[in-house]
Amino acid sequence: MNDKKDLIEFLINIGRLKRKKRKGWTVLHNIKNSESTADHIFRVAILAWILGQEKKLNLEKVIKMALIHDICEVYAEDETPYDPVLPKDRKKIKEIIKKRSRTLYSLKEREEKLKRKFENEFKALKKITSKLPRKLRKEMIELWLEFENRSTKEGKFVKQLDKMENLLQALEYWKEQGQIQRDLWIIAAREWCIDPLLIEILNEIDKKFSKKRKFSTKK
């Protein structure tokens, strides 16, 4: 770092994630007082520590990976898989989230969306890390690429933790506020979860959140 000014600038930029609401909860599910990107990162990092230890993974690596996995969102848009078909009408949004996003548009469009998302996020990552010392910047970029490409056992693991945290948050909102297609989230989780330990935890989460929510849906 050339100057302490660069560190302060980086911290201010990263701090924006404490206020950035995650788009899926607000736009798709109309959740009140929904979490920020930093809230999500916090619990993924805790998961990485506890479960990474149990899996005997390189803890420093998995925790660092969890901490940086979404920092690109300082500059990149927080996208949802429903974005290309998202109607403005809330009633219509309620209808489309009852379906799996992959059934709503073609494979080619989904591939292009993923490619674009990767490019935007990588660009944003380069921007946010640009003033950091060379070694640190290199480490962050490599960790992010391992996470995105799931090319190492740590990358594969943290990617699943990212989704597991998302599932846990979804079910917490389901219990508190409704608005979540609970079974659809569980069905989807059983497709992306591949680690035996995480499959066990997924089943426990399913059990914990299997009871019907207590609040009334009547208005």
Partner 1 sequence: MEEKKYHLTKEAFNKYKEEYKKIKEELRKKRIEMKESRDELWRPEDLNCDYEPLESELISLEVRLKELENILKNAIIIKNNKENTPKKVTVGTKVLVKVNGKTTDEFIIVDSLESNPFLGKISVESPVGKALLGKSEGDTVIVQSATKTTYKILKISYE
Q: Are 201 and 160 in contact (CB under 8 A)?
A: no
Distance of alpha carbon 154 from alpha carbon 89, whole angstroms: 40
Distance of alpha carbon 219 from alpha carbon 216, whole angstroms: 8
Among 100, 112, 197, 215, binds partner 1 (CB under 8 A): 100
Among 126, 175, 176, 181, binds partner 1 (CB under 8 A): 126
Among 196, 126, 113, 129, residue whose Cα is nearest residue 156: 196
Distance of alpha carbon 31 from alpha carbon 208, whole angstroms: 21
Distance of alpha carbon 189 from alpha carbon 97, whole angstroms: 15
Residue (42 or 122) nearer to partner 1, CB? 122
CB of residue 217 to partner 1, shortest distance in Å: 20
**62 to 81, contacts with partner 1 by CB under 8 A?**
81
Among 5, 18, 92, 102, binds partner 1 (CB under 8 A): 102
Residues that bind partner 1 (CB under 8 A): 2, 81, 99-103, 107, 110-111, 114, 122, 126, 129-131, 134, 137-138, 141-142, 145-146, 149-153, 156, 182-183, 186-188, 190-194, 199, 202-203, 206-207, 210
